[in-house]
Amino acid sequence: MKKKVLATLLVGAMAASLLAGCGTTVETTGSSDTTTAPEKTQTTETAEAGEAGGSDVSADITLWTYPIGEWGNAETVDSLIQDFNKEYPGINVTVEYLDYTNGDDQVNTAIEGGQAPDLIMEGPERLVANWGAKGLMVDLSDILDDTDKSEIYESVLSACVNKEGATYEYPLCMTAHCMAINKTVFEEADAMQYVDAENHTWTTDDFFKAMDAVYAHTGQTVGAVYCSGQGGDQGTRALINNLYGGTFTDADHTKYTADSAENVKAIQALVDSKAIGFDASIAGGDEINLFRQGVLNVAFCWNIAQQLNADNNDAGLTNDGDEILFMAFPSEKATDTKLCGGIWGFGVFDNKDANKIEASKLFIKYMADSAEGTPDAVLSSTYFPVRDTVEGKDLTGLYGDVQTMSEYSTLMQYLGDYYQVTPGWAEARTAWWNMLQQVGSGADVQTAVDEFVGTANAAAAN
């Protein structure tokens, strides 16, 4: 399958489509969201016995997956499971495709009804800090051997393991969230002089100069601090934290620190900018659509999936054909930028069925820890592997000569602290967009931020 997937990638980067059907991906619990992924259920039949590998495990298991790249596409997942079934023909996998509008409700309803899926694919915010913290997940430490621990990036692995040492997520792929600009409009406004286009970085001072230049040229809002809900809030957090070097939590992930003088200064600077608007009517996915439509010329909700999206035009272009340039968030020293990361992998709900748990672990090991399955599983995510090698197979050149992937990978050096596993995360996220709404409505910045931190830390303490 790898040749087929990589060929599709190459065609997509060079022409009009990358892994056809790629959805709009933004974070909703520190991870990803989509505005296009369909809700559907697909059962993949097991392979013929003649194609079988050496396993005699037999089980019917369910996989629920959020739309992580093409893991939200039934055709792609079917192909992955068919390859898995060549080695494990007795394991039948039924897949439920979730979105980020109703997905959490579906999972929580299933949990309450005693019908949780066997496998679930998402990030540590859900698998570790939420369901894992509630005692609902299986500890996967037994399938994480010393070789795995040496190969998986330490920062990734630490996010998948709780403070007691239980591994509730086996990681597969990762990315760095960023922002984007309409390069065509920036050039027309003579604002590219403030952008390091080669390194995709800029300073805070140059960011505001560029905003002013584009605003003067277009006479309309350049970028929006979206805050109708939590969708894509990694963008607003990263923007505010980076402008003057603030933090969102402490290093030990025990409390929220967004009330720092640096963050208050950053929010006030955004409020004072004529080029930036606070928009309580849109969330991250809406902002992306407005950016693609040319209504906005800056997007704070961006990542590699967006850069490769070819739904309405060639990848890297707006709907009208303007060139899109992805950018790190601005900081006082450009190379000090700290980007929010996305980590995705697999977790197993403890449904008290040892046979299904064993089958689920075999699925995870095939997809995330095998020379046969991992390359295609990562490629299908459209993100980057969490390790350089797997079973001796090099993963660093997984995307071959796909220029956009190679160029985007330079942002990975700017990945910041994965603070999304701080206790009280769900409550903190709600309080965050409520705070932005208050500020956008004219509330005193310090007062609103103090209220946010009080609410978030109260949740963390519980």
Residue 331 sits in a domain of what CATH number?
Answer: 3.40.190.10
Q: Quote the domain boundaries for residue 392.
A: 2-176+341-416
Same domain, 153 and 202: no
Same domain, 106 and 31: yes
Same domain, 169 and 38: yes
Same domain, 101 and 125: yes
- pLDDT greater than 80 at residue 15: no
Q: What is the pLDDT of residue 14?
A: 35
Sort strands 59-65 and 91-97 into parallel, antiparallel or unpaired: parallel
Q: What is the pLDDT of residue 45?
A: 40
Q: How far apart (Å, rounded) are the C-alpha atoms in residues 268 and 450?
A: 14
Same domain, 118 and 212: no
The last residue of one of the domains, among 381, 398, 416, is 416
Same domain, 271 and 128: no
Same domain, 348 and 293: no
Please give the average per-residue pLDDT across 328-340, as a whole number.
Answer: 97
Beta bridge partners of 327: 179
Buried-exposed string 337-358: b where 16+ CB fall within 10 A, e elsewhere: bbbbbbbbbbbbbebeeeebbe
Same domain, 93 and 157: yes
Q: How far apart (Å, rounded) are the C-alpha atoms in residues 127 and 121?
A: 9
Same domain, 163 and 68: yes
Same domain, 27 and 61: yes
Same domain, 153 and 185: no
User: At 4, is the pLDDT very low, low, confident or very high (cuts 50, 70, 90)?
Assistant: low
Same domain, 25 and 157: yes
The percentage of the chain sitting over the pLDDT mark of 70, rounded to a whole number, equals 88
Count structural domains, the chain: 2
Q: What is the pLDDT of residue 46?
A: 37
Proportion of the chain in helix, strand, coil states, percent, rounded to 5:
45, 20, 40
Say what the pTM is: 0.81
Q: How far apart (Å, rounded) are the C-alpha atoms in residues 422 and 456?
A: 10
